[in-house]
């Protein structure tokens, strides 16, 4: 599971009306499993925010 503080922050920002994006390389699961992290992004993030890669962030910022 992603750190509970990450999920709580996602929820709080979403409730306050922000369009939340999370840098996927900046968070990890407790087990460290890449597969588990990807499953969580696909299962939970559509409700609370969007996963964003470093490459996507650079593209947006340019």
What pLDDT is recorded for position 32?
Answer: 80
**Banded pLDDT at 2 (limits 50, 70, 90):** low
List 23's β-bridge partners, or say none: 52
Q: Where are the domains of the chain?
A: 4-61
Cα–Cα distance, 26 to 42 (Å, whole number): 16
- Percent of the chain residues topping a pLDDT of 70: 95
What pLDDT is recorded for position 3?
Answer: 65
CB neighbours (10 Å) of residue 60?
Answer: 9
Mean pLDDT on 29-47 = 82
Cα–Cα distance, 13 to 36 (Å, whole number): 24
Q: At residue 49, does pLDDT exceed 90? A: no
Q: Which range among 2-6, 20-24, 57-61 shows the weakest confidence by mean pLDDT? A: 2-6
């Amino acid at each position: 599971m992603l750190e509970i503080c990450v999920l709580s922050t996602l929820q709080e920002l979403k409730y306050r009306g922000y369009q939340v994006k999370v840098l996927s390389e900046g968070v990890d699961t407790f087990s460290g499993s890449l597969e588990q992290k990807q499953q969580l992004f696909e299962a939970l993030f559509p409700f609370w925010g969007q996963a964003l890669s470093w490459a996507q962030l650079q593209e947006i910022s340019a």
